[in-house]
């Protein structure tokens, strides 16, 4: 059985080095760059899980899910996204692709329309999930909508709008359904 070494991750540069040293992550990013969707990013667990697994010193909870998001207000048909999912799964079977246009995803939580991909990402449930990475002209670019503190300190915290009575259950259900406290035993759950 492989043993993984815990690493201290504290800065954006640490995170960049972590990604650059992961052959699979770089293959995924290159594939996404080739697709060249408008205002694209790969976010959520792709980056969060890598950082948290590294901090915890394990790789047993890795997955191949890739949330590739983009913004195109000219075509908000879900079928377009599904065709991208299928195309990328055939052309790049290295991942389980889920490609979603943030120009239409505001309806999922009955929010106001998003104005960009970053705006959509900033409205994902947890602060540490509101992170993304992309390649731009072959160089890594990182996005931290709510800073990096929760990400690098193993904190699961709902974004402000999910701290309401109406939406807090969404946060709590995600933590339980995804077994986060089993995957990352040192994970701290904070509600504010």
Q: Tokens 């760059």 appear where? A: 33
Q: Taking the complete model, does pTM exceed 0.75, yes or no?
A: yes
Does any domain span residue 45? Answer: yes
Q: What's the distance, CA 185 to chain centroid?
A: 20
Q: What is the secondary structure of 81-103 as a DSSP string?
A: HHHHHHHHHHH-TTSEEEEEETT
Q: What is the pLDDT of residue 7?
A: 74
| Boundaries of domain holding 169 | 12-189
Does any domain span residue 158? Answer: yes
Does any domain span residue 20? Answer: yes
Q: What is the pLDDT of residue 97?
A: 97
Q: What is the pLDDT of residue 5?
A: 54
Query: With a cut of 70, which residues of the chain have pLDDT below it?
Result: 1-6, 60-63
Does any domain span residue 153? Answer: yes
Q: What is the pLDDT of residue 58?
A: 84
Does any domain span residue 3? Answer: no
- Number of domains present in the structure of the chain: 1
Q: What is the pLDDT of residue 6?
A: 66
Does any domain span residue 61? Answer: yes
Does any domain span residue 1? Answer: no
Does any domain span residue 2? Answer: no
Neighbouring C-beta atoms of residue 70, cutoff 10 Å: 22
Residue 67: name the closest of 98, 30, 35 by CA. 98
């Amino acid at each position: 059985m492989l043993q993984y070494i815990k690493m201290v991750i504290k800065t954006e540069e640490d995170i960049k080095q972590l990604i650059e040293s992961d052959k699979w992550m770089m293959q995924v990013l290159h594939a996404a760059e080739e697709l060249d969707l408008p205002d694209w990013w790969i976010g959520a667990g792709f980056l969060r899980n890598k950082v948290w697994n590294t901090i915890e010193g394990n790789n047993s909870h890795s997955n191949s899910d890739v949330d590739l998001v983009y913004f195109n207000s000219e075509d908000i048909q879900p079928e377009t996204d599904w065709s991208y999912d299928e195309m990328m799964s055939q052309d790049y079977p290295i991942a389980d692709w889920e490609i979603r246009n943030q120009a239409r995803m505001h309806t999922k939580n009955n929010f106001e329309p998003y104005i960009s991909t970053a705006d959509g990402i900033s409205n994902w449930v947890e602060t540490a999930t509101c992170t993304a990475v992309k390649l731009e002209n072959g160089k890594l670019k990182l996005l931290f909508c709510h800073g990096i503190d929760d990400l690098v300190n193993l904190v699961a915290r709902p974004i402000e709008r999910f701290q309401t009575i109406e939406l807090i259950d969404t946060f709590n259900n995600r933590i339980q359904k995804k077994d986060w406290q089993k995957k990352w035993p040192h994970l701290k759950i904070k509600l504010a």
